Structures are given as structure tokens and as C-alpha cells.
Amino acid sequence: MQVIIAEKSTAAETIAKNIGESKLKSKEFGPVKIWFTKINGKDSVVIPLKGHIMNVKYPEKFKKWDEATLVKMIDAGLLYEPDAIANIDVIKKYAKDADEVIIATDYDTEGESIGFEAISVVKEVNKTAKIYRSVFSSLTSKELADAFNKLQKPNKNLADSADSRREIDLILGAVLTRFVSLSANRLGNAFLSVGRVQTPTLTLIVDRDAERRAFKPQKYWRYVAEIESGSEKFVAEHSEGKIFDEKTAEKLRKLLKEKHAKIKSITKKVREVSPPKPFNTTGFLRSAASIGFSVPNAMRIVQGLYMKGYVSYPRTDSEAYPPTLDLKDILSELSKSQSYKKHTDKILAAGEIIPTKGKEAKDHPPIHPVKLPEEKLSSQENRVFDLITRRFLATLSKPSKEEVINVKLDIKGNEFVARGSKIIIPGWREAYTYSKYEENILPELEEGKQLKILSFKEEEDQTSPPSHFSQGGLLKIMEDLRLGTKATRPEILKKLMERRYISASKTLIPSEVAFAVTESLKKISEELTGPKLTAHIEEEMKSVESGEKTKDEVVNESRKLIKDILSELFKKKPAIKELMHKALLQQYVFGVCPKSGGKLRLIVSKKTHKRFVGCGDYPKCHFGLPLPQSGYMFISPQTCPKCGIHMVEWHGKESKRTYIFCVNPACKPPKKEEKAVAKPAKQDEKKQS
């Protein structure tokens, strides 16, 4: 008998269904469902894990949070303890009689680490079974069959690389989180988290917000003319665009009464725009974020589609399809759908298929569809599958051709410009509808012709600060700075949101606590808040992966670095404590009271224990606003555009979705969010706690 170990339940079921040679049978052991079939003529049982089945942790003696244990924790031996007991018991039950054990977890460092955890369980009950590794990038019947016919040896270096990351992140995170939390007196559920990748990432977000706060706007003017040509209209703007000099603006102001413009020149250029590159993990997540998905949610959905066998493995650095990938076979599958048939037919009719390509990596191919869904997907799953499929079709399509027109006009000796563009041949844009291209079609114009000005406007405005990071934009910067990996970056963003360091929205806005933590650490250790240390450790982990260094060597070198950082933090503890105290007071402030000008604060009634917004000038001012009385609440860094009060991020205890809304009833939140807002606090509850 052979035992096959998959990473998750869905993957186990897909493997059994796609390469099973006999009628499938299943059996449940509590939460663990296993599958029986024949694979390659052998009786087989497919057993799922639930990700890691071993938890890396400190010994129990380090459970207490106090300064005396911090230095000791750096050199403490870590424990790998069983976590998923039900899964482990099932492996032991069937592994003891197995001739062969095949590890079929995801083929990357994390998947290999999970695989070796399963191997350690197998060896407890069976030391003679042969152990193999199946390597695949999608869960299609063809690729799985090929993987199970070409079994390999498990790669210990890959597993050690992942385990070195787990150990380093635990040591650094536990030690520095405890130091910062003890300094701020924030213990229990209110602890302040610090992490090797998390803290430099948070620093990027905080630095951008600090730049915005320090930004001084500069006034400028624009001059725009609406011009008529026959029965059509178009717009021309002064060639300098933004005018910052007031004297120049004063001269141009005299043009506002002009009635005619003369065409000086018309230039037309046809440009060819190549199709986009195939999706690697970062490219996919950025595109998903641009159409409304949060990065963690997009990663969760695409992982689910992979487990069901509909898309390829979603954690990849590659932007080039390997020669072994049968593109025509995938196109043939997609042609069964009316949504894609028009595009697949066009690609196949064009002759030789030459896909676009970016950087090549040795891990997995770019993310691509492998099979049309055989079940009804959720609306979000459908959209993600469609995004991946249309991107794949675009990478195999012809370039688009676009005409760009530049018209220069003379208005009383001043040059104005009108720019037009239109698509001549849509090419790849026809398939990839997620790429927005706005045409600006100008009327037919002739050089030397005089046209009528219908209106002339002066627009006064001021420069804007740099925008906050979007989730997709931050991912690209993290990749460029080598902060984290393709697998861990979405989780880092998720943690920052869950720990209330940043706003849980498309725009990443840091809280006052985020400012306090990063500014404190930045003054003491730029290594911890900058990307260099993290990138260095990532390189060290790659050296474990390649076999140049051992896991113990890399972990012990990191222990020394952590000791140096902690030593510097202890020297400046009083300053850190003070900075934290000020920021923590600020985090409970909603803004300025519209009646008294005092601070609006979070109040919890001593009598009823209800929470509400109250004025700091109480009892002189009785202004108050309602708050949700149940669920988890966080004062958002975002302010309401109507009243200027800080909004609230809220979710119910059983809900994964976060709602962001203004608690001021005068701002009339949408109906679906009104349920989250409690009734106004009664007057007798407005006693300051």
C-alpha cells in the first residue's frame, strides 16, 4: 500500500479524483477525510494535512512576559510540537503498514517543510517505508500523472530554508514584540507586534504618511480652451500645463476673452503596444487589487482555485511559460466556454503562438488557467478565474495598434496643445478587458485652419501630497526591496490590518500607534525598520536552500544580530516609553468636538460599560456620538470627508469582513452599515470614566 500526503483537504480530493484508477471511497476520522483508490496500479490512501502539523514555539518557562526573560529567549532552544493531532493520528494509522509514502504538498520551501513534518510522523511508526516526493505545478490529471511517474527525493535543504525563516521570525518577533509591549505597558490582547518583515513594511507606510503630513501645497493655474471644429468639440490646454509663476498666469489671464485659435501643426504616430507579461504572484495580486480585491483575499481565492485544479500554482516568481507547457491544450480547454471561444479561435488561427515573457524563474510557471470549472463558483472566484484566464489569453495574442495625435494651436502667440488617441487594432486588449484604455478621439483637423473658441477657463488648484500606498503598489515595493517572499507578503499586509497598525482598506493609512512603534525603533535601530537586514536574512535563507549554509548556522548568526538590537533598545528605553505613552493617548481620539473644540475621545461608561464618543470638555460639553456595542472596533486613521471625525473600522465577532464608516449620524452612513452603529448613548451614560 502507498500513502499519499497532500497539503490540504481540497488538494487531497482533487489528487484522488484526477489520477485515481478505481472507484473512489472515502472515510472520515473526525475533521480528517481520507480517500481510497488505486494509483499506478497500487492500493493508495490519500491523506490531507491542514498546512503545518508542527508548531514552532518556546518552552513553557518563557510564557511570562517580563524583562528578565528577554535576553534568555534569544538563545533558548525552540520546540517543534504536534499541532494537528487528528491529521497526525491518521498518518500514523496508515503509515505503519505502508510500503511507500509520497509527499504531495506544494512544491516550495513551505510545502517541503510541511512535507518533512509528515515524514517525521511516518518514521515514528515505520522506518522501512520508501519515501518519495511528487513535483507538480497544477493539479490536472495530466500533470499529476506525470509527477507520480517521475517521483523524486524530498529536498531537505528546501525544508531547512523554510524552518530557518520560522525560527528567526519567532525569535525576533517574540523578543522585540515583548520589549515594545512592556515599554508601552500594552500586554494581553493589546500587545504591540514587531516583526522582521512586518516592521520595515509598516515603516514604508508610516514614512509615506509622514511625507504627506509634512507636504506644503503649492498653488498653480491651468488654462483650458474648448474649441469647435464643424459640429464637433475638443479641448486644448496651455503647453506648459501647470503654471506656477503668477506673472505668467497674469499674462495668460488676458486670453480668456479670445475667440479664435489657429492650428499650427498636427503630428500623428502609430504605436504598437505589446501584450502584458504572464502573471507571477506579485503581478496577479496587484491586478486583483486594482479591480477591488484585498491582497489577502485575492491570495485566499486563487489558492482555493489551485486546490480545486482550475489554475496553476499561485506562488511563483516566473513571468515566462516553460517550453513544456502545452499552450494549445489549454486553449482547446478554454474554447469550450463561449466567454473565451472568440479569443482562443483568433489565437489559434493566427498561426505560430509566441507568448510574451518577462523574467524566468526555476520554481513554477506563471499563473495560468488549466481547466474550466466543473462546479458553480462564487462570484469572487469567478472574477479571479476570469482575470487569470483573460491575462493568459492576452499573453498569447497579437500587439494592439494605437494612433496618437498631437495638435499644436496658436492663441494670440501662446501655444496650446490637444492630444488625441484611438485604437486602430485592439489585439490583446480585446481579450484582456481588465486593462483600461480611454480613447480621446479628435475631429478631423487641418493645419493652418482657424477655429472658434467656445469657452476659455482658468482653473486654480494646488499640488497634492504623494498618495498613500495602495495594497498592490506596496506589494511591488516589497518585492523590489526583497521584503518577505511571494508567499508571505499577503500575510504581512493581513497582519498589519488585523493588529490595527493600518487601515483595512484599499488605501493603506497608518494609525498613531504605528507611528509610535516605527519612530521609536527607527531612532534606535535603522536595521530593524529598514529593508537591508530583512533582505540580508532572506539571502541567508537562500544559502540554506542551495546547501551553502546549514539552518543552524543561519539561525545562530541571526541570534547575534537580535542581541545587538535588543542591547540598543534597552539603552534608550525611557525615551521609547515616553513616545509610546503619547501615541497611545492619541489613538483614542476621534477628532475635534464641533461644539466646544475639545477632543472627542473613546469613553467607556463605568456604570453601564457601554462605549461611546464623548467630549473631553465634559461636564461643560455634553456632545456625544454612538458606537457599536458589540464586535471588534478600531478608530481608523481615515477621517470622514463630511465632518472630519475619524471613522471606525468594525467587524462582528463571527465576521471576517471589516466595515469602515463614520459614527456621526448626521453623515448618514449607507443602510448596510447602519446596522453596525449603536443607538446614541443616553445622557446618564455620558459620565467620563
Q: Band of the pLDDT at 671, cuts 50, 70, 90?
A: low
Question: 681 falls in which pLDDT band (50, 70, 90)?
Answer: very low
pLDDT of residue 601: 87
pLDDT at 637: 77
Residue 584 exposed, middle or buried by CB count within 10 Å (0-12, 13-18, 19+): middle
- What is the percent of the chain where pLDDT is above 90? 67
Residue-wise pLDDT tens digits, 153-162: 999 999 999 9
Considering only 63-72, 429-438, 513-522, which range has the smallest mean pLDDT?
513-522
Residue 520 belongs to some domain of the structure: yes
- Nearest CA to 372 out of 315, 309, 298 is that of 309
Q: Which of 139-143, 294-298, 406-410, 676-680 has the lowest mean pLDDT?
A: 676-680
Q: Does residue 61 sit within a domain? A: no
Q: Above pLDDT 70, what percent of the chain?
A: 95
Q: Are residues 415 and 524 in the same domain?
A: no
Judged against a pLDDT cut of 50, whether residue 130 lies above it is answered with yes
Q: Which of 497-501, 673-677, 684-688 has the lowest mean pLDDT?
A: 684-688
Same domain, 617 and 676: yes
pLDDT value, residue 519: 81
288 with 270, same domain?
Answer: no
Residue 682: pLDDT band (50, 70, 90) is very low
Residue 689 has pLDDT above 60, yes or no: no
In a domain, 619, yes or no: yes
| pLDDT higher than threshold 90 for residue 504 | no
C-alpha cell at 254: 488676458
Q: Does residue 680 surpass a pLDDT of 50?
A: no
Its domain, for residue 431, covers 219-274+400-462
At 656, the pLDDT band (50, 70, 90 cuts) reads low
Element (H, E) at 32: strand 32-39
Query: If you search the block for the grid coordinates 475631429, which residue do you land on?
Result: 443
Q: What is the pLDDT of residue 187?
A: 76
Answer whether residue 117 is part of any domain: yes
Please report the pLDDT score of residue 684 as a whole number. Answer: 37
Give me 93's grid cell: 494509522
∠ CA 288-291-296, nearest 5°, is: 40
Rounded to a whole number of angstroms, the distance between the first and last alpha carbons of the chain is 68
Please check whether residues 301 and 390 belong to one and the same domain: yes
> Starting at the edge strand that comes first in sequence, how are the strands of the sheet with 42-48 ordered?
25-29, 32-39, 42-48, 2-6, 100-104, 130-133
Strands 25-29 and 2-6: unpaired
Instruction: Among 409, 438, 462, give the residue marking a domain's end.
Output: 462
Judged by average pLDDT, the poorest of 35-44, 59-68, 142-151, 579-588 is 579-588
CA distance to 71, 107, 213, 558, 573, per residue, from 569 (Å): 12, 39, 27, 17, 6
Catalytic residue among 107, 310, 313, 618: 313
Instruction: Please say if the pLDDT value at position 585 is more than 80.
Output: no
Tell me what the mean pLDDT of segment 99-126 comes to. Answer: 96
| Judgement on whether residues 601 and 577 belong to the same structural domain of the protein | no
- Per mean pLDDT, which range of 162-176, 207-221, 496-510 is the poorest? 496-510
Residue 258 and residue 301 in one domain: no
For residues 292 and 363, membership in a common domain is answered with: yes
For residues 105 and 150, state if they share a domain. yes
- Cα gap 433→343, rounded to integer Å: 12
pLDDT at 650: 83
pLDDT band, residue 285 (cuts 50/70/90)? very high
553 and 662 inside one domain: no
pTM metric for this prediction: 0.81
Could you read off the pLDDT of 599-641 as tens digits, one per residue? 898 888 888 888 899 998 888 999 999 888 887 777 887 888 8
Domain with residue 260: its CATH number is 2.70.20.10
State mean pLDDT over 168-175: 94
Average confidence (pLDDT) over 65-74? 90
In this structure, are 321 and 419 located in the same domain? no
Same domain, 308 and 346: yes
Domain count within the chain: 5
Is residue 107 situated within a structural domain?
Answer: yes
Least confident among 73-82, 292-301, 571-580: 571-580
78, part of any domain? no
- Mean pLDDT, the chain, rounded, equals 90
Active-site residue flag, 313: yes
Give a yes or no: residue 246 inside a domain: yes
Q: Quickly state the pLDDT bin for 676 (edges 50, 70, 90).
A: very low
Q: Do 176 and 143 share a domain, yes or no?
A: no
β-strands 25-29, 130-133 pairing: unpaired
Q: Which of 129, 154, 179 is the last residue of a domain?
A: 154
- What mean pLDDT comes out for the span 121-140? 95
Please determine, for residue 688, whether its predicted confidence score (pLDDT) is greater than 60: no
- Give me the CATH number covering residue 538: 1.10.460.10
Domain with 144 in it: what CATH number?
3.40.50.140
Whether 672 shows a pLDDT value over 70: the answer reads no
In this predicted structure, what is the pLDDT of residue 683? Answer: 33
Looking at residues 133-159, what average pLDDT do you find?
94
Q: Is 56 inside any structural domain?
A: no
Please identify, among 584, 618, 645, the residue that sits at the C-terminal boundary of a domain.
584
